[in-house]
Amino acid sequence: MTFANVGTLGTKAGQRDALVEILLRPKPELRDAGCLLYEVGVNNDVPDTVFVCELWESAEAHQDSLRLEGVQAAISEAMPLLSGDNGGHRFTVLGSPLRADGARQSRHSL
């Protein structure tokens, strides 16, 4: 069942672009680990915040990805840039009106 992680990462003053650079480095191993989408964005109204939207094949795939060497290295590099003001939501995706192949997953599988 598809798993979504949508969150915000607060950065120390002036560190937003440095964090974006780390997050946008190519990591082809994420696709192999079950990542379907990984989007990074900013909003100039909140200059010290980075927004991340992730879709994964499962919550387990997401959790397992955190043990990948490249992901661990990126986390270590990013940690000093973070303010600790992070937020977000994790949820199971039920479907999408953009997919014709079963836009909604069965409630029985939840």
User: pLDDT digits over 49-69, tens only?
Assistant: 999 999 999 999 999 999 999
Confidence band of 100 (pLDDT split at 50, 70, 90): confident
Q: Is the pLDDT of residue 108 over 60?
A: no
pLDDT attached to residue 98: 86
pLDDT at position 96: 87
Strand (E) or helix (H) holding 80: none
Strand partners, 16: none
Q: What is the pLDDT of residues 80-95, one digit of tens each?
A: 999 999 999 999 999 8
pTM over 0.75: yes
Per-residue pLDDT, 42: 98
E strands, the chain, in order: 3-10, 35-41, 49-56, 87-92
Q: Kindly state the DSSP code that residue 95 receives in the 8-state scheme.
A: B
CA quadruple 46, 15, 81, 33: dihedral sign: positive
Q: Tokens for 42? A: 């900013």
pLDDT at 84: 93
Quick: pLDDT tens for 30-50.
999 999 999 999 999 999 999
* Residue-level pLDDT at 55: 97
